[in-house]
């Protein structure tokens, strides 16, 4: 909710941005990332932050 609010109130070069991600898709990713971290004995946890930033970027669009 906080990230969505930040993005929905951001304007870059006169174009408003919009966040289109859902809590369910983020929850699904967290479950996947947790399982991968357990399977790899914590090694995958180094990539979780990067994957979270990637998920945020994929769910951020410019409003036309």
Residue 1 has pLDDT above 90, yes or no: no
* Helices vs. strands in the chain: H and E counts, helices first: 3, 3
Map tokens 């408003």 to a residue. 16
Sequence spans of domains, the chain? 2-62
pLDDT band at 64 (very low <50, low <70, confident <90, very high): confident
Nearest Cα to 19, choosing from 1, 2, 7? 7
pLDDT in tens, 32-60: 999 999 999 999 999 999 999 999 999 99
Q: In angstroms, rounded to a whole number, what is the distance separating the alpha carbons of residues 44 and 59?
A: 22
Exposure class string for 50-60: b at 16+ Cβ within 10 A, else e:
eeeeebeeebb
Report the percent of the chain where pLDDT is more than 90.
94
Alpha carbon distances (Å) from 51 to 18, 24, 35: 20, 16, 14
pLDDT in tens, 7-35: 999 999 999 999 999 999 999 999 999 99
């Amino acid at each position: 909710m906080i990230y969505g609010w930040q993005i929905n109130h951001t304007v870059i070069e006169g174009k408003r941005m919009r966040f289109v991600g859902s809590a369910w898709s983020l929850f699904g990713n967290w479950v996947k990332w947790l399982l991968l971290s357990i399977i790899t004995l914590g090694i995958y946890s180094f990539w979780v932050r990067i994957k979270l930033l990637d998920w945020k970027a994929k769910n951020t669009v410019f409003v036309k």
